[in-house]
Structure 1
Amino acid sequence: MENLKFENLGLKQSLLQAINDLGYEEPSQIQAKSIPLASEGFDLIGQAQTGTGKTAAFGLSILNNLEKTNGIASIILTPTRELAIQVFEELKKLSKYEKVNVLPVYGGDSIQKQIRALKSHVDIVVGTPGRVLDLIKRRVLHLDKVQFLVLDEADEMLNMGFIDDIESVIKELPEERQTLLFSATMPPQIKKLANKYMKKDSKHVEIKKVAMTVSKIKQVAFFVNHKNKFEALCRVLDFDSPEIAIIFCKTKRGVDELVQNMQEKNYVVEGMHGDMSQMHRTKTLKRFKEGALNFLVATDVAARGIDVDGVTHVINYDLTQDVESYVHRIGRTGRANREGTAYSFVTPRENSMLRDIKRVTKAEIIKGELPTVKEILNKKLDDKFFQIQETLNKKDYKKYLPLAINILDNFEPVEAISALLKMEFDKEMSFEYTNDSLKSASAEDGDIRLFFSIGKRDNLTKKLLINFIADRARVKGSKVNKIDILENFSFVSVEKDIHKKVIDKCSGIKLNGRRVNIEVATKKRK
């Protein structure tokens, strides 16, 4: 199982191409164990914690065996609209080379729009139980030709009271189908559900829970736009001057491009990935261990087994595809009770993955501010002053005295020292920075902050507020990015394109018995 590749799982070539495009190098444990069984047609219970790649586990299995008909071939039930959207987006990526239509259905979005979409050809429906059942009752969602049923995060669906809705949906399905049930835990209700609706020869795949704790490592996230990511990396490296660091990229091509760009800026760096010869990788790793390299750029697979003492920094140039990989990556620093630092460069499209990492690991990930050129220069001046002081104390500069005397005889001392410092810093300032500062990006870039005249005293919760906005304004809950609930009022950051809709559709409506007033927040409000 250790060196298993996606090519070993019996997946068709079009899926392997999509996987390669996504930069996935090898399957996670749940994928490696469940895909072959599901592809053989077995009903399956997949038990694994959040962040281990369960979506691709059932998604690839379905896409590999799905036979197109003139009806819905697969129904996937999820507990929340956010997860439905997430599963939909993952399936769209995995089915890049398949002629497969995927439709997400959930409350908070226009049901008429979903009905219109169902009237065109749809192969896979991903949805919340309530909305799926509503569409069935309206006689617009027909499940009599379903080949695959997936219950995703089954334990959460049962916790939320969806058991009756789930059973109502299952009654609409043909008996001859494949059922895939994925869950983080296995309470008695799940076992009862499995016994009732799954075949007798069903398989149970359980992935042992791994520690998702990274408490001794300082974790910092820099929010960047993709076009500025390399300059952001250079700023952080020039300011922090890591002694020895591993930099992770998602793809082999990404490793090659980053190494080339860094070498052009005079960083002492080499790369490692699966397309490189074993001899090259062994030689590169030897140089890294001996301290001949400051930076090693690698993919997750190539970095497996790297055990180098004294790694001060792990840098996620590309964020991982799952939480488990993130934990494995940053665990390469902060060993033997030493301090370690993990930096992540997060583009807007990676914000959801960062939220998953925070939620699962329960770690504090600090938002980092990119250093200005002035701050970088001041830091280097301080470091250089200390180095000069150390060298003077050691008194091992005597052989350079004749040159120093000659310089001082011919030039003004302060100007001569300034020229020497310029020569030194021109080598150390790798990037040709054109602006003193570089603007950071974030999940809230372009967001509008709204004031809501309702707060904690009204028993308001974040979930209640998101559902209120989604249902009334008919917008996706994922477009609500930040909520601060105070005693008497709240602030909600929403994406710019929906803020007018939220104000128009939600203002004056009662929530928890109080009529809500909404307006664009001013900086004066606290």
Structure 2
Amino acid sequence: MSLSPFKDLGVPEDMIRGLEELAITKPTEVQLKVIPFLLQNGGDLIAQAQTGTGKTAAFGLPLLSKMNPKHRDIQGLVLAPTRELAKQIGKQLFRFTKYTEKIFVEVLTGGDDMDRQIDNLRRPTHIVVATPGRLLDLIERDALTLEFVRYVVLDEADEMLSMGFKPQLLDILKLAAMRRSTWLFSATFPDAIQQLIKGCMSAQAHNIQIDQANVVNPDIDHRFALCKREDKTAFIASFLKRQRDARGLIFCRTKAGANELTQELLAMGIAADVIQGDLMQKERDKVMRAFKKQRVQFLVATDVAARGIDVEGLSFVIHHQLPDQLEYYTHRSGRTARAGKKGMSLALIHPKERPQLMQLERELGIRFREHRG
């Protein structure tokens, strides 16, 4: 009999077995607050949660628990802003059901062969994980219907709105009119999110807000290094050359900056590549395959392009510049120290940026120490 704390949250024993194989043994803050509510109540939910906080399990375990494997129809829908995030969610849901009665999950995203997706949808499908555009394309082709969907999850809702998906989201929610509940997860709550909530969710929706101090993984070692802008490339190159087999991400604010840094690192003989918003999907897939298969040791990325990236075993994250938004620091640093491992988040700053560093410390409840390596 499992003694997992997930049992106290109401997670079925057969799913706990799958979690333990994934080394998921201790619930995160968002899982502690979300899972019991969704399992026991299941009404509309509005939750603040960033990448790396364990939100896929927070909504995924209750969603899987509510599926009826004996019915062939699509009963659950998860919407995500990017192809990578959708695939990551689909993979996790599949892993959670290793020891359960079979629940079929289909991932539908742009960049994949649509005819193959249509063929796959002819099989029993209980949960669809999709990007909004591709889902609507397939609905227009009569490849699937949302009339039997009872649960809709909007993951990284703020990112979907910032990418211009509001009209598609509204159309999809209308088509899933028979849903029992909508579960919305968002890192931030700008006016556009508030309007979406008001128009599509119950006024009695349950709100869960995770304290900022609990959002950041405690296994991350936060550091800073004082560095003039013109010295940053040399500093990063020196740091990377000392990493042996360690792998990591370097974040830049702009696409031009990411491209420039990558070219400079390549010229120094460093195995790096770049992922940014101007890449075609085929190019993006090629870069991610090379990085995941460790043919490329270091990846330079912009914040938006990095959404949905989930690569195991990253030892560090470097911030070429501090991000403009508080939640982006959490998104960035959350790429390391996964699955109970330690990781480092290193910010390169000008002395004048110390106040920004102090603000991050105050608002996230973390402490930076100077990197002298």
Residue matched to 1:89: 91
Deviation at 1:181, TM superposition (A): 0.4
Query: Does 2:119 correspond to 1:116?
Result: yes
CA apart distance, 1:102 = 1.0
Using the size of structure 1 for normalisation, the TM-score is 0.44
Alpha-carbon distance between aligned partners in 2 of 1:365 and 1:23, rounded to the nearest angstrom: 31
Unaligned ranges ≥5, structure 1: 213-322, 335-363, 371-439, 444-454, 486-526
- Whether 2:281 is the aligned partner of 1:467: answer yes
What is the aligned partner in structure 1 of residue 289 from structure 2? 479
Letter in 2 for 1:54: K
Consecutive unaligned residues in structure 2, runs of 5 or more:
224-237, 249-258, 261-273, 302-373
- Give the whole-Å Cα distance in 2 for the aligned partners of 1:134 and 1:91: 24
Asked if structure 2 preserves the Cα contact closer than 8 Å seen for 1:105 and 1:114, the reply is yes
Q: Which runs of 4+ in 1 moved over 4 A?
A: 364-370, 440-443, 482-485
Q: Structure 1's 97 and 158: CA in aligned 2 closer, same or farther, altered over 3 A?
A: same
Label 1:441 to 1:113 Cα distance change in 2 as closer, same or farther (>3 A).
Answer: farther
The CA RMSD measured in Å over matched residues stands at 3.2
1:347-406, Cα deviation, whole Å (9 max, x unpaired): xxxxxxxxxxxxxxxxx9856455xxxxxxxxxxxxxxxxxxxxxxxxxxxxxxxxxxxx
Give 1:17's aligned residue.
Answer: 17
Partner of 1:60: 61
Distance 1:178 1:365 in 2: 49
| Structure 1 residue identity aligned to 2:193 | I
Q: Equivalent residue for 1:180?
A: 183
Q: Distance in 2 between matches of 1:82 and 1:464?
A: 16
Cα deviation, residue 199, structure 1: 2.2
Q: How do 1:154-233 residues align onto structure 2 when only pairs under 5 Å count?
A: 154-210=157-213
Equivalent-residue separation in structure 2 for 1:30 and 1:59 (angstroms): 12
CA distance in 2 between counterparts of 1:478 and 1:112 reads 24
Give the Cα–Cα distance (whole angstroms) in 1 for the partners of residues 239 and 103 of structure 2.
38
Shift of 1:209: 1.1
Q: Which residue identity is paired with 1:189? A: A
Q: Which amino acid aligns with 1:81?
A: R
Determine the C-alpha separation between the residues in 2 that align with 1:203 and 1:60: 18
Q: Which AA in structure 2 matches 1:33?
A: K
1:95-106 matches, cutoff 5 A? 95-98=97-100, 99-106=102-109
Say if 1:48 and 1:208, in contact at 8 Å, map to a contact too. no
Deviation at 1:210, TM superposition (A): 2.4
- Matched to 2:53, the amino acid is T
Deviations 1:152-178 (A, max 9, x none): 000000000000011111111133422
Q: Is the 8 Å Cα contact of residues 151 and 179 (structure 2) preserved in structure 1?
A: no
Which structure has the larger Rg? 1
Higher RCO, 1 vs 2 (CA within 8 Å, ≥6 residues apart): 2
Q: Secondary structure at the match of 2:8?
A: helix
1:138 maps to what in 2?
141
Identity of aligned residues (%): 37
Deviation at 1:325, TM superposition (A): 4.1
Q: Per-residue CA shift, 1:259-315, capped at 9, x if unaligned?
A: xxxxxxxxxxxxxxxxxxxxxxxxxxxxxxxxxxxxxxxxxxxxxxxxxxxxxxxxx
Task: Kindly indicate whether the alpha-carbon contact (under 8 Å) linking 1:48 and 1:209 is maintained by their aligned counterparts in 2.
Answer: no
Q: What residue identity is the alignment partner of 1:187?
A: P
Whether contact under 8 Å (1:74, 1:149) holds in the other structure is yes
Q: CA deviation at 1:466?
A: 3.8
The aligned residue for residue 241 of structure 1 is none
Report the count of equivalent residues. 255
CA pair 477-84 structure 1, distance change in 2 beyond 3 A: farther
Matches within 5 A, 1:361-380: 366=240, 368-370=242-244
Using the size of structure 2 for normalisation, the TM-score is 0.62
Task: Go from structure 1 to structure 2 and tell me whether the alpha carbon gap of 1:115 and 1:203 turns closer, same or farther (over 3 Å shift).
Answer: same
C-alpha contact (below 8 Å) 1:82/1:478 kept by paired residues: no
* Change over 3 Å in CA distance of 1:128–1:480 after alignment to 2: farther
Does the residue aligned with 2:152 lie in a helix, a strand or coil? strand
Deviations 1:400-440 (A, max 9, x none): xxxxxxxxxxxxxxxxxxxxxxxxxxxxxxxxxxxxxxxx4
Please give the alpha-carbon distance, in whole angstroms, between the structure 2 residues aligned to 1:367 and 1:64.
47
Q: Is the 8 A contact 1:77 1:152 kept in 2?
A: yes
Q: 1:210 is paired with a residue of what secondary structure?
A: helix
